[in-house]
Structure 1
Amino acid sequence: MSVHDDAASPREPVGTRVEASGPRSAAVRGNSGTIVTGDLHAARRPPLPAPAQIEAPAGLLGLPRRPAPWFVGRDEALAMLAATLEAGAGAGVISQAVVGLGGIGKSELALQYGFARRLDYGLVWWIDADSPAQIQIGLAGLARALVAGSDSVAAGQASPEEAAAWAITWLAGRTGWLLIFDNVEEPTHVEPYLARLTGGHVLITTRRDVGWRQLGATPLRLDTLPRPASIRLLGDLIGPPHAADAAVLGELAEELGDLPLALTQAGAYITVTPRCTPAGYLRLLRRVPERMLATAAVGGDAERVVAKAWEVSRARVAEQNPLAERLLQLLACYAPDHLPADVLAGADDDEQAVNEALALLASYSLITLTTHPADPITSGGDHDVDDGESVSIHRLTQAVIWHQLTTTQRDQTRTRAAALLDAALPADPEARANWPRYLRLLPHTSTITPPGSHTMNKVIDFAGASGDYTTAKTLQQARYAAQAETLGPEHPGTLTARANLAHWTGRAGNVAAARALLAELLPISERVFGPEHPNTLTDRANLARWTGQVGEAAVGRALYAELLPIRERVSGPEHPETLTARANLAHWTGEAGDAAAARALYADLLPIRERVSGPEHPETLIARAHLAYWTGEAGDPAGRARPVGRPAAHPRTRLRS
């Protein structure tokens, strides 16, 4: 494709200056010198030639460098660029804005496109567009490149303003060119130029995801690389023999969040650093992320590192909206993906100010806002806690922001983030209607909530109530460790956390470990609380239960037989805990092989359950089902109600309160 002149007639020279006062002299092309009027001296520059008279040198290519030889995972994005720019051929200037986080590969994508399609255009020109002044300098450079062959004196002496205006006039009169504005900060910085261009293609890269459609530019949001492409890029950069270790490269890609700049930075560092392997780099990244994210390879560009990628955006956000910077710091505390945006509503008294701050961060691509409709499955069909926006932030952005804070700032920010999360959790974690909310917040509570806090206790209760016993056990383990460290190993709070850890360990399927934990705990509880304290009795009941569960039914029965009279004396014969102990004694009596005795025990228990709890209470129904079962097992199948085998439920042990 050649550059075509669309001008109907030669245009007047652009940008010649006229003195504000005093006589004017006719400009003579090719002459220069000094015009003197009294004591006023003014240097006269030769005017630039008429834009219509200048043809571009064949295949003029103004790219800042050759594209990277390793470029993967962007075939679809390149195809979309081509489709958008080619679709409007002949319909005036066609613009495409590539939008995304710093380091996501916007500039490299534009560079790859410009170089690959250089033969399709008569002119390809790159402009560093960080500021209006930089844009003007880039356009002036284009003017000088075009004019240099015919009038090098005029090209060299024209002011940047004159040369930039001349370049836009030259482009406006032609088609078949590609102009790339790289890293545009504000749409308004390029709007005056786009308004004057009537043909050709314009490609814009920017971190700001705002206002491009209004300028007629189609936005293309660039995301992180797919994991296979990340592994391939690392392998291409590093080369053999380490390139063959896909497992380690996959771990490294995950730790780097599949960010192209971070992958390139890591690959270059490993390549030129003696004895550094992908596994070694991964260890360093986990141990000292702030150092590795700021370190370029020897001989590399110190500005092309992850730690610098977002500094300009962060600084500009801070200048425009201090609340937005505080929100960014809070977001560094949570899990990186899908924090409900309303969690941050309490970060400021003005909720609208929070919304505006989030919108500003999103416009700089520092965060991503996503709308989530209510899920009729998780919400029960009529619960809308999943409505609204969620906030996601790249994990490396979090790391960079976090390591820019002082120790005091980190403590304050973490405390504030945890308080906002606690306020966002419903009060009752065991109510089914609240489970979708707890489920959405679980990754964030697991990340930021202090293990010994009341908030963590609520989250553990939710995990257990919803059947996620493994998560309940994992969180309870952290809670117990925190309580032991802060309160001491025999503090009542620590012993309660230890007892509950045994409970969730058993519910998660490791009944032998649960029994062992309780066997170690019981003597301590008897010494600290006393042999008949409710906590001690709960520990005895749980030890009896898990002893039966490991296959020692007779021992479990014996332990319940020892416990029951103490329960009756301490709590009363019809207290719920006493009735639970009676039910468990009956159950393990049957499991130990004495079905007739189990039937008799359940027969004695059932009328008491009906009177105390009511005929349709769950515990009453469980007792009735077990009575029917053990009646059948005792040799009286006619007395068994609905002979369908062992009842699915039996009396439970309890968590400590």
Structure 2
Amino acid sequence: MPPRNKNFTGRDGLLTRLRNGIVDQDTAAVVPHALHGLGGVGKTQMAIEYAHRFRENYDLVWWIPADQPGLVRATLAQLAPRLGVPGPTTTGIEDSSNAVLEALRRGDPYSRWLLIFDNADEPADLQEVMPQGPGHVLITSRNHTWESVVDTVAVDVFPRAESMEFFKKRMRRAISDEDADRLSEALGDLPLALEQAAALQTETGMLAREYLRLLEERTSRLLSEGRPTEYPHSMTAAWELSVAKLKEYLPEAMELLRTCAFFGPEPIPRAVFYPVKGPIRQGTTTLLADPIRLGKAIGRLGKYALVRIEAEANEHRTLQVHRLIQALLREELDPAVQEEIREEVHSLLIGAAPQDPADTANWPRYEALLPHIRPAKVEESTRSDVRDFALNVLTYLSASGNHQALDQHLEIFLERWTADSGERDLHVLRAQRIRGNLLRELGQFQAAFDVDKGTLATMRDELGEAHPDVLILLNGIGADLRAQGEFGEAREHDEDSVRLHRQVLGEQDLLTFRAINNLALDLALMSEYQRSRDLLKEALTRAQAEGQALNRVTLLNLWTGLGRAVRQCGDYQEACDVGTEALGYGREYFDADHPRILLAQKELAIALMRAGDREEALELAEDTHARYMRVYGLDSPWTLAAATCLANALRANGQPEKAFDLARDTARRYPGVYGPDHPYNHGCASNVALLYRVLGQPKEARELNEKALKGVESKLSRGHHYALSIAVNLASDYAALDDLDQACALGLDTYRRLTELLGENHPTTLAAAANLSVDLIRAGETEEGQRLSSATMERYHRTLGEEHPDTIVAGEGRHLDWDFDPPPV
């Protein structure tokens, strides 16, 4: 909350009316209330006073600047730590703000809350972020359309008595009723104009009659010049008087104020005003180079009530200029001077921005600068350094997960830059690359691929094959191909990408490690598990040797990927060991809801389940799925993968009914994310089929598995691990239906293919062999079946051990089931 205004005056009737309207609402749902009125009448100050006056009625009050709708979610997300939900540094702004809205709706942990949306424009802008639940919402706006949407309290200029009371409270010396009345009359009782007048008289010692004489001269001139009617003449005249005195006493403070007019109306970080490179007017350069003079200028602006100076909770000071004063300052300048100052603001923004926008430690600084990007018209600049800064802002928005603001800024930057510089401009291409990443994060895989493919072709034409920008984009293309189910094409693409990365950047570059991680994913998706394992083991060893020089997220990705590859090779206990180490490393540096932590946790849950630690696996899978649900929502590909893991863990722990419901719901959602023909859809369908058989419906299981096997074969091949895993289950379906001929034929073919693909000791091969031995014995091939059973049990004892659940099931002559867990793309 902004601090309480010690000079707040009057408005008791309006505040009482507002309070009665809020507390008398009949419904448990939120009924927003709005303070509506013209600029300068004190709507914001009333909202601040309401929050402080009635603070004992609330456990939580949160202030949200709402003039830029795309930034509202960022402010909501900052509330997350107070509500015990994931913050924006771990889950991204959009997901974090959704978690905040849900916590407010539930009233957990606070049911008595107040949210204030200051200076909202269109009601539609806040539709998706207006909280529901037991709390209260207060809006301030100049837009009269709110009157037809919410309960509105109109705020007008002061009644004369309150104007006079304000002067007596605000001015440090005594003022007569007559002078207070004359001043109020001349200033139209407009609170902002009264504040300007009182500040100027207090600081300069000017008498009321002198101020009135000068004000009359200014007002007459303004009226004769026909100044725009959207600004009250009294306000304009009062402002010009303050400016005239400021120029007289400290002219450089006036130049600083003009600079502030080209920022946004939200708080400007004090840290912006330091010597920087780039176009800066000479007077500003001199002022910024003298901290004593600069401090004096800022102090004088505050004393004249032209700037509000505040210290935030973290002790970082900010300057804030009323939007009406900003508009008046800009209006008095020639277009050429406006452009000159705007260039200066761009230089100051660049100087205040940290170098690495993906580093979470730098996000608060970017968040503070973000409200000033649009007002400063950053998109209009053709300077290379300004556009680099704009791209860093986009990278910050992407890394923090603020998809709404990212989409809005991307659209603006791309439209203007393309119009000014053409589609082949490097900054345009870099923004298009970020757009492709955004589309992929939103699950729009085909659209992402189309954008990335077109951007890559142009980048190659403009920059050549080996340019770093081209190499960065190559990784995105590989992800697009995997998301489309084109695993073989993705592997070929990423093999070329790794070769180029090594050739251009070397083995130890961050981008090279990322490319290797992507290639390892491709190899595993093509059943080349051992090669994936070897590649990741080598990369992780080199990455760990780099220590702090390597990005921790990349290191955790490699570590988690290695654990997955070890598991896919069939070494379950080793996979648990590697996965535990990876998760432990990640927890040292990241929040429990960080996406990389959740991925590491899910992979460890799968490894534990495969190793036979089923209860621990279920506990971990339930926690992971719950976190994914809260952070990403129900239909995210990441949540669906976690749901698949949980369903498998439920089945392994003897809860097939719950597993079936979750698996079937998940399988229904998968085509909406990946499209109808993706191998993951068929793999998840096979999980549902497996549960049909477990629940005593083998016919439904067979039909669904036959369809799933055909789908995987058409996309990959019959010799792919996914297809062979489904075939293991389908053979069990045939056996359950007493079709032993088909069961034995399919089982024998699958066993031979798995032996060739994964080796005779791989757990999938052992499951196929154990099932086949049972079916052979039932079909009358007793000798062959017993011989295969004996050899299989020997390998089970040697690889998984006598106490492993799979060893026990095989030894009892029961069929083993093989479920599917989709890896990340």
Q: Which has the higher strand share?
A: 1
Q: Which of structures 1 and 2 has the larger relative contact order (alpha carbons within 8 angstroms, sep 6+)?
A: 1
Q: Which has the higher helix share?
A: 2
TM-score norm. by structure 1 comes to 0.49
Larger-gyration structure (1/2): 1
TM-score norm. by structure 2 comes to 0.40
